[in-house]
Amino acid sequence: MPPSERSGGPTSAAGAAGFASLGDATTSQAAFRDELFARGLLIESGVPGLYGRGALFEEIRARFDALVDAAAAVDQPELMRFPPLLPREQLESSGYLHSFPHLAGSVFAFAGSEADALAQEERAARHEDWSEHQQMTDLALVPAACYPVYPAIASRGPLPASGVVVDAGAAWVFRHEPSHDPARMQCFHQREIVRIGSPSEVLEWRDQWSQRGLALLRGLGLAAERANAADPFFGRGGRMLAANQRQQELKFELLVPLGGEEATAVTSFNYHQEHFAHRHQLLLADGTTAHTACLGFGQERIVLALLFAHGFEPASWPAEVRSRLWGS
Amino acid sequence: MPPSERSGGPTSAAGAAGFASLGDATTSQAAFRDELFARGLLIESGVPGLYGRGALFEEIRARFDALVDAAAAVDQPELMRFPPLLPREQLESSGYLHSFPHLAGSVFAFAGSEADALAQEERAARHEDWSEHQQMTDLALVPAACYPVYPAIASRGPLPASGVVVDAGAAWVFRHEPSHDPARMQCFHQREIVRIGSPSEVLEWRDQWSQRGLALLRGLGLAAERANAADPFFGRGGRMLAANQRQQELKFELLVPLGGEEATAVTSFNYHQEHFAHRHQLLLADGTTAHTACLGFGQERIVLALLFAHGFEPASWPAEVRSRLWGS
């Protein structure tokens, strides 16, 4: 799941120089965030978009995750789980730095002598710049939960007949876009499932899932709507990529009200055609290049949408919503 | 839980200059790792110490996690969950860069124009050095799962009478120490619980838990032993810190056989005295500085120890072990 274009949220437009400016939140988004902090649903860290989660927030997220498990069972997916970091070389080969350089994160670490370590520590303790002591490692932050899936499957050789479905679980992903809008986190869980197969298998799977996803969200009392969408590609050239993506209907999103002026994307369904399969040499049983698609539920956004729609006390949520989540 | 000194594993001694050299694995550790890959328990990424997890590996980890839930229930801990990143400022203030500069990771991101982005992408696509386009952000990798807990509790003001117990769950932590030993991962789950209170409350809690932890591991058929321990402090000055830590009995570990010449630490119990409380101004109800302790189960190491002790097929594990994990 590449980054969704942020329907409804403030746009974190990448500046012409320097880091993207801090995304502003609407008044109602800021009030919502403050209430989430006050109730311990989210825990402030001091960095916009980086939060701890309280027990109730995590319980709702886990209950939603179980509903996705149930909806996915018919696919009999293979389960794989990946850490929040991936090999830098994979990020370099993925095209992500072409499309979304402003959102990527890389991991740096110390390299030097004991004297260097001392100099670094002294600067750091004074909160001064210690970046010169850090060097790029061979690791980067996972930008989308499906990225590690493609090389893992490709390493097995040609796909079995009818391809594969991989459930990558609820993985931590990173987007460098600080914001006070609680729905725009820098570090959040994507529950992602990936389909790799022939073009028709992949497209049919994506379309089935966009219906399943819509039913899942509406069943929880969310006013979800499906919309054609595009990713927030970087720079002027990105506009053409986005227009092309919309025209080919490569991306759908499910949007729900979440305190912004427009609805917010909480789920996306992405058809990559040969993009990932070509890079990782994912081959069908007949030796031709596979196609891939993925879906991603933005779990924190869905928890926020439930709290926004039904209030901060799940005990008083509509009976049907409680029943679906808690079975009672 | 600060990093455990690596009993039994190869030492990733920080070199006098440059990155730590790649930790070697013993022949049996390397053979064990290859079997884990072949069976899909772990998934190779290309970077030593960074692995995906297969369904069975994750199921064992989740079952173990549930046993810790049950053992922790008597504490009635408050649940908090944190992302794999923390504010850089917290890392700077924590003392970690003094003790473990060689293990820390910081997050860098792109800052520049469209032309800069293009130059970065071209270098990256050729797997050349693109680090000059990346700048330090205000985020770093979480080095130990308890680090975000202290400021979260401190922000509430003085502690209630009898302090608090926080269950930080199974969180992703980072250690920059690439190795071919499968038990020495760069990115793994620590199941961590934190006690904040008076010195006697904290010490009593730690000692109770070291007994509970020992019973938990032995109940799973692991030949666990408790040992006084020290952290892998950096540099020549670190030797004195380690000696002091041992002499004051601030750190205990539970060690199990895991393919190395000596047993491997899979759990640690750490008494920080005033270290974290002083930095975060954690105060007892009477206004004096609190003390803290934490425990950390290294979940991947425990799964590996179970596979190492009982074999790769949980269906043929001893009935008592199966019964504890699966209830059947």
Q: Give the distance from CA A213 to its chain's centroid.
A: 16
Q: Determine, for residues B176 and A110 on separate chains, whether the beta-carbon distance falls below 8 Å.
A: yes
Q: In this structure, are residues A42 and A32 in contact, taking their beta carbons and an 8 Å threshold?
A: no
**A46–chain B Cβ distance below 8 A for any pair:** yes
What's the pLDDT at A328? Answer: 63
Tell which residue, A185, A222, A221, A181, has the closest CA to residue A32.
A181
Band of pLDDT at residue B20, cut at 50, 70 and 90: low
Instruction: Report chain A residues whose CB lies below 8 A from the CB of B107.
Output: 105-108, 141, 174
CA dist., res. A194 & res. A226, Å (int)? 19
Residue A25 pLDDT: 78
Out of B109, B125, B169, closest to residue A176 by CB: B109
State how far the Cα of B276 lies from the Cα of A37, in Å rounded to an integer.
Answer: 23
pLDDT tens digits, residue range A153-196?
Answer: 999 999 999 999 999 999 999 999 999 999 999 999 999 999 99
Contact A209, A217 (CB under 8 A): no
* Contact at CB, A82 and B141, closer than 8 angstroms: no
Nearest residue, CB atoms, A79 vs list B55, B82, B111: B55
C-alpha span between B120 and A240 (Å, rounded):
20
Q: Which of B44, B58, B102, B110 to mutate to test the interface with A (most CBs of A within 10 A)?
A: B110
Burial group, residue B327, by CB count within 10 angstroms (0-12, 13-18, 19+):
exposed
Bridge pairing between strands A187-197 and B264-273: unpaired
**B-contacting residues in A 258-317 (Cβ below 8 Å):** none
Who among A53, A98, A112 is closest to B17 (CB)? Answer: A112
Other beta carbons within 10 angstroms of residue B173's beta carbon come to 24
Token pair in block for residue A318: 């509509």
**Chain B, window 198-237: residues with a beta carbon less than 8 angstroms from a chain A beta carbon:** 234-237
pLDDT tens per residue, range A185-243: 999 999 999 999 999 999 999 999 999 999 999 999 999 999 999 998 998 888 888 99
Q: What DSSP character marks residue B160?
A: P
How far is Cα B179 from Cα B176, in angstroms, rounded to an integer? 10
**CA R_g for chain A:** 20
How confident is the model at residue B30, as a pLDDT?
A: 86
* Separation of CA A150 from chain center: 16
pLDDT-flagged residues of chain A (< 50): 5-18
Tokens of A91: 């990020």
Q: Would you say residue B243 has pLDDT above 80?
A: yes
| CB of B145 less than 8 A from some CB of A | no
Residue B249, classified by CB atoms within 10 Å of its CB into exposed (0-12), middle (13-18) or buried (19+), is: exposed
pTM above 0.90, yes or no: yes
